Amino acid sequence: MCIFVQESLSYVKIDLEKYCKDKDFEVCAITIHFNAKSACTVAIYRDPTGNFDLFISKLDTVLRKLYTVTTEYIFCGDINIDYLVGSDRKSQLEALLKTYNLTSVVNFPTRTYKHSATAIDNIFNDISKMGNYSICPIINGLSDHDAQSITLISFNLRPPSKKCMLIRKINEHTINDFLNKLSYETWDIISSTDDINKIFNAFLDSYLKIFYSSFLLKRVNINKKQKLDYFRNFNVL
* Residue among 64, 126, 52 nearest 90 (CA): 52
171 neighbors 150 (Cβ within 8 angstroms):
no
Q: Summarize pLDDT for 44-66 with one digit per residue, the tens.
A: 999 999 999 999 999 999 999 99
For the ranges 8-12, 39-43, 233-237, which has the lowest average pLDDT? 233-237
Instruction: Please indicate whether residue 165 or residue 77 has the higher confidence score (pLDDT).
Output: 77
Q: How far is CA 174 from CA 181, 185, 216, 235, in A?
A: 11, 17, 9, 11
pLDDT band at 231 (very low <50, low <70, confident <90, very high): very low
Exposure letters 181-217 (e unless 16+ CB within 10 A, then b): eeeeeeeeeeeeeeeeeebeebeeebeeebeeebbee
DSSP string of 5-63, one letter each residue: --TTSEEEEE--GGG-BTTTBEEEEEEEEETTEEEEEEEEE--TTS-HHHHHHHHHHHH
Q: For 144-157, give one letter per residue: b (16+ CB within 10 A) or e.
A: ebbebebebeebee
As a whole number, mean pLDDT of residues 115-127 equals 91
Mean pLDDT, the chain, as a whole number?
Answer: 84
Is the pLDDT reported for residue 8 higher than 90? no
Q: Which domains does the chain have, with CATH numbers?
A: 10-152 (3.60.10.10), 164-232 (no CATH)
